[in-house]
Chains A and B, each alone.
Chain A
Amino acid sequence: MKRVVSVSLGSSRRDHKVQVALFGEEFEISRQGTDGNFDQAIALLQELDGKVDAIGLGGIDVYLYAGKTRYVVQDGLKLMQAVHKTPVVDGSGLKSTLERETVYFLRQNTDLLPPKTKVLMVSAVDRFGMAEAFTSLDCEVTYGDLIFSAGIPYPISTLEELEEIAHKTLPDMCQLPFHMIYPTGKKQEVQDEEKIKKYGHYYLEAQVIAGDFHLIRRYLPLLKGQTIVTNTTTTEDVAFLREKGAGYLVTTTPEFQGRSFGTNVIEAIMVVLLQKPWPEITPDDYLNLLKQLDLKPRILKLN
């Protein structure tokens, strides 16, 4: 039995454990949230180090991308550096491959993403591959990085401007405590009503809302049948989106026993299957494995 554990800064209410068989190998996959408690996350990572086969870091990014430039989130790096023996990943290695493929899949296999679709990405620097894919398919994309991570009501409409602003600001912003730019712990369980009033219209102007689920959830107004493209969702999240009037839910990661795990979890599983050190794994390795595993996005009609 291979053990993969996702250690998350998110709420412990989302903890989950499943067993699945992949390529004839039994995996126990679990998620342990630390309710935004950074020290607890460090302690848990140290405890697991050397005792499990791979670790995913959830509720935080270590690497953000804009164009070809990679920015390192210092809090994420501290978590990663707490682990010395077990492979540890944040999902960013796989995201670029998996999430691009999801966007292409939607164009090729559904009518959810025709050309000129208005897309709101609540944040793009944490999934630049997805942003590039939407743009390459002639979607009209609004990048909400400043709106939803910095509270600045300035929609970015080109990847070039996103890269330019990222270049000026991310080297320093990545040094701030992560909770200042992303909802962690209990903040993931509640919506920010004041900001929903201010920024909810960006959701309503879009046909597709894409990106990190916790950001989407925190500022989500009542929708009118929009499609949500995201990663981690629980059964409760699906019910929440249905109540809020979303039309479809597309999750980039596959469902295991009722929930889609984070990209960090899937990447951790892949690292185990590939049996290569993480720095040596290429996007093609992930792509080939995705094909062999026949992992496809999950598409759920909600309303």
Chain B
Amino acid sequence: MAEHSEITASLRAFQEGYNKNKRLKKMNADWDRVVLVEANDIPSGHTLILRKGELTIQEGSPESPDVKIISDSETLADMFYGDITPTRPYLNGTLKVLGTEDDVVRLDFISLMIWGE
């Protein structure tokens, strides 16, 4: 089990990886989304905000997210640190991504572009 602070740190690493990737920002310039990242085994919620290609992170849960990412704290921290890709936990049900299929594919893609080999 990871702590809330570890998830926060992993999200900061994810944000750093995203924001230094100019191409990724260009790719997502059209994709404005509010994303909830929530652990289901500890009290932990974060908000990812994508606006005009820029990614910001806030503590706490948003009121009406476009996409919800829900998993156990360990999986969330591993995933946002890039130790694992989202695909496997998504496929085995450990990770739930609630949104349109297009949004799920886009989030997977962003993660792979940051952390992919």
Contacts and interface: CB of A to CB of B under 8 A. Distances in A.
B43 interface: no
Interface string B63-92: 000000000000000000000010110010
Interface stretch (A1-9, A15-23, A171-179): A171-179
A165 B101 contact: no
Given A173-B112, A176-B87, A150 B106 contact: yes
Interface stretch (B10-18, B25-33, B44-52): B25-33
Interface stretch (A151-159, A208-216, A217-225, A232-240): A151-159
B28 A172 contact: no
B117 A154 contact: no
Interface in B87-115: 87-88, 91, 101-102, 104-106, 108-109, 112-113
A146 interface: yes
B33 to A, nearest CB: 12
Nearest to A167: B117
B87 A175 contact: yes
A171 B23 CA distance: 20
Question: Main SS of chain B's interface residues?
Answer: helix
B27 A154 contact: yes
Interface residues of B, number: 21
A169 B87 contact: no
A268 B31 CA distance: 42
A150 B105 CA distance: 6
A168 B21 CA distance: 14
Given A146-B27, A167-B117, A173-B112, A152 B85 contact: no
B91 A169 contact: no
Contacts of A153: 27, 30
B109 A173 contact: yes
A144 to B, nearest CB: 13
CB-based closest 9 A-B pairs: A168-B116, A172-B87, A154-B27, A169-B112, A151-B102, A172-B85, A152-B27, A175-B87, A180-B101
Given A151-B102, A152-B27, 12 more contacts: A151-B106, A152-B31, A154-B23, A154-B26, A165-B113, A169-B112, A173-B108, A175-B87, A176-B91, A180-B104, A181-B105, A198-B30
7 contacts: A150-B105, A151-B106, A152-B106, A167-B117, A168-B117, A173-B112, A180-B101
